[in-house]
Amino acid sequence: MLIRLPRRPHIGILELHGALGSTIRANTYYQILDRLERSARIGCVLLDIDSPGGSVSASESLYLKVIRLRQKKPVVAFIRGAGASGAYLVACAASRIVAQPGAIVGSIGVISLRPVVGELMQRLGVSVSVNKSGPLKDMGAFYRPSTPEEDAKMQSLVNELFEDMVQRVAEARHRTVAQVREVATGEVFTARRAVNLGLVDELGDFDTALDSAASLGNMPRRVSYVRPPRPARLRLLDRFVGWAMESVEEETATVVGRRLWYM
């Protein structure tokens, strides 16, 4: 991957706009963050966030990478419109969180969902033949309802992931687990209230976040936007059908099995 970086120290700006795992591909952005971490030309990183969250794996991958990046250079998270669930977790990995007063913050929690289309398939005359090595091998299958045992196991998995998320938020925000648990109901807050709850450090606009990054990095406000490179033909194609293709991909993945989300 070829990403052009400036010669003199700059504030590297990386936009995280959209769902984590679909619009924001974890592997691609992980590589960009790795490049920002290793580059001597980037003195500080500003994450421009507007995301409702996304898959557990994508959110966790970016969170852990930002933690590593923060150990090398300051990272400021700016929540523009939404910094919810998995996106808020990523913001927590930053050195400081700045949010617009009307931004939506929080939604700390985990959700597991899947469609059950068994009755529809029966009406259409479609059946599924299954051979499996164990009783739980097709747990979460779309063609039948879950059993009580499967529901209990899935809830246990959701609870475990939730506890991990609460622990990480507590450590990053210097709060107790009990304090985070009080606000980790899945609800969202305005950024103004999030400051009072200890979820955000400061209210402000993009310039406020930029000033904070320059101060933490002890450098001028020279900026460099870093974006995933795309060939011209793909940029043109994305303009017309990119959103539709991603939507079809996500819907297809949802139909064929259960997924876990920080949403």
Q: Indicate the DSSP class of residue 221.
A: S
Q: Are 73 and 34 in contact (CB under 8 A)?
A: no
| C-alpha span between 74 and 71 (Å, rounded) | 8
Dist. CA 212–CA 49, nearest whole Å: 15
> In angstroms, how far is the first alpha carbon of the chain from the final one?
30
Residue 51 neighbours by CB under 8 Å, 6+ apart: 16, 17, 18, 19, 20, 24, 82, 83, 84, 86, 87
Catalytic entry in 85, 95, 107, 212: 85
Q: Which helix (H) or strand (E) holds 78?
A: strand 75-84
d(CA 186, CA 85): 8
Q: Let me know if 85 is a catalytic residue.
A: yes
72 part of the active site = no
Rounded Cα–Cα distance for residues 136 and 114 (Å): 16
> Cα(252)–Cα(217) distance, rounded to whole angstroms?
44
Distance CA 117, CA 142 (A): 6
Query: CA triplet 196, 202, 207: central angle to 5 degrees?
Result: 155
At residue 150's C-alpha, the angle toward residues 148 and 156, to 5°, is: 105
Q: Of residues 132, 137, 156, 247, which has the active-site annotation? A: 137
| Residues labelled as active-site residues | 85, 137
